[in-house]
Structure 1
Amino acid sequence: MTKITEQRRTSILTVVVTLLYFLTLGLVLYELDRQHFTGEKERIIREHFREIFALPDTLGELAGDVLFAPSEAVRQRAAERLRKEMEAIVRGPSSIFSFRLEDANRNVVMGLQVTDPEKPKRLNTWRNSLFLRNFERITDLGVKRERGAASAGRLVARYTTPTNYPPIEQLTRLYWGIVGVLVVVWLVVYYFLYRYVLRAMHTVTTHLQESKEGTPRLILRPYGGLETAYNEMAMRALLQRLNEILGRLLQADEQREEGGQRRVLEDTLTVMLQAFGLERVELALVANDGASWSLIEQVGIPDVSSPRQDAAVLRDGEHPKKGFTADSKTGDFIYWAPVEGMQLVIRGRLQASVPAVGLRFQGVEQSCEV
């Protein structure tokens, strides 16, 4: 239960850090859209308003006729003409989606208000917008009886992003490029953050937890300093454990117990087999009486006792060579060392399906030196 809890804590930490990291990216993109892109788009519209909207010059005159008509009949005719102009603008390709005439108290005059609430959704596209599709602004035109007089009313228009306007589409492409660069940079940084920090923390935590319950395991493909440092620590722990097991050979009780030495050696080889991903490993002690070599002791994991294997060990002893020799292609290794007039031979083979051949050979060699 503790093991599951520790792994879950590490996984939760990874998820939380990942969410916060990409939330930061989301906030950066939001501010890029809201402050920079929207501000630039608004500036372009403001500077080129007449070119973009091309509103008819008769709007102001018609609004004046409605507000200052000498009779109700004239007022009605002017209101009808103004309504048609408003509908033509709002229903047309212009990005104006609402038009109304207000009096001095900001009340709508004679119901002169035309609105298309769905127009902003249709016009705000990937070609003229980024992520926020709620761009809208208000513009108005004061209606006066004569120059210098106070406004008796005003024409109020609400507009969204214009379509098919090259400067805005060019600006949008520029900012989509900036978005792409930011996303790529964020992903690259996250890749290294995950590979060398987050995943390393999870891997090291998992290996540390497992080491409490058994033989420490090496990280076969370490990335970065954290996993490499763990491997160094795990290697020292493995060698310490081998020392402790071999130390039992010196204990009197272990020596007197029948088969005690063999069990200690089997325990030692089992630790090596599990720790370094070995297919097999065997230890033999051979001696030379001056005429020939003879096998004194042989222990293997899995068990080795066939005459053919014994003969192979003796052949190794016939050409004693102190030190460790390994073949990275086959995964075979042999270690020779003189021991009190005899020859110690440790030989075995790595599992081909397990990676990190060099690291495992290093661990086996250090274990043999113990």
Structure 2
Amino acid sequence: MGVQNEAFLADALFQPIKLGKLELANRMAMAPLTRSRADDNLVPTDMVVEYYSQRASVGLIIAEATQVSTTAQGYTNTPGVYTPEQIAAWKKVTDAVHAKGGRIFLQIWHTGRMSHTHFQPDNQAPVAPSAIAANAKTYINGKGYVECSVPRALETAEIAGIVDDFRTAAANAVQAGFDGVEVHGAHGYLLDAFLRDGTNNRTDAYGGSIENRARFLLEVMAAVVKEIGADRVGVRLAPVSPVNDALESNPQPLFEYVVRELEKLHPVYIHVVEGHTGGPRDNAPFDYEALHRLYTGVWMVNNGYSKEMAEEAIRRGSADMVSFGRKMITNPDLPRRFRENKPLNRPFEDASLYGGNGAHGYVDYPELG
């Protein structure tokens, strides 16, 4: 075994890695984390700038899920990237991260049926593949948690417009200084809902067969890749996570087809949530290695990874990068803590993960001295 291989095995998580044209300092990513901290015009605030710049030592920041249009919102105070004010505010974020030597992508999403009429233009019904209500809730200021509204099924002719919304959002993200985008194809949101037979009972070209159900996601990916280049585009998938009432009777062939087709577009990475998001990793049988073998780009994994688990995944070749969620919230300097084997901060018991106007629980987690 050569010196380089020995060093890699001893320090796998902290080896640099190429991501398209980017050289990342380490193989850790900050997972996209909804914090509901945008203002009432869905514009990131100066505190958002501070939050991301604090975490710039991670190899790649994937900024929180961000709406591609006015119809894409499903939660209170989540940011957009479709107005000049939003784009300008995100530019402050990317400038601050880049000033510290960091790299940052933006996750772009459409929440689909995971929404409420309150968030929709003219209080219309949210859109979905089919008019099937989600067994899930969202939060509205002043009302608290409410059941998601019954959606309406998108007309076939409307789908091209949403594909274009994703394309435009990707262009806007690059204009705002992001190094790339991650298309949110997971967690029961619009693109994922089209994939799954539990949420898609359409009879047109976007329903029925696996090929038809995957069509919308693949059209979005093709449009975004064409707009900003494959080396700037990633995608997130969660094959067996049931969050947001995401139901699929036979996920293995579905996601193997999706990854085979994605390989033809060759996005720069595929980001896979293993198991139940934020929960057990073994909630349902699934062969993730079968997916990995179908793709030749950077393979990123997520869900409950410790430092030791992440190192082992990279050493054995089952992942190229590992993303961390709540550990990145509570530890702005997580790469240093991992490298120096320092203890991790505990979550503040008196601070919410979502929402709030002040610094507490958002930008005041301590860093090592």
TM range (shorter): under 0.3
TM-score, normalising length: structure 1? 0.20
Q: Which has the higher helix share?
A: 1
Per chain length, whose mean CA-contact separation is higher, i.e. which structure has more relative contact order (CA < 8 Å, sep 6+)?
2
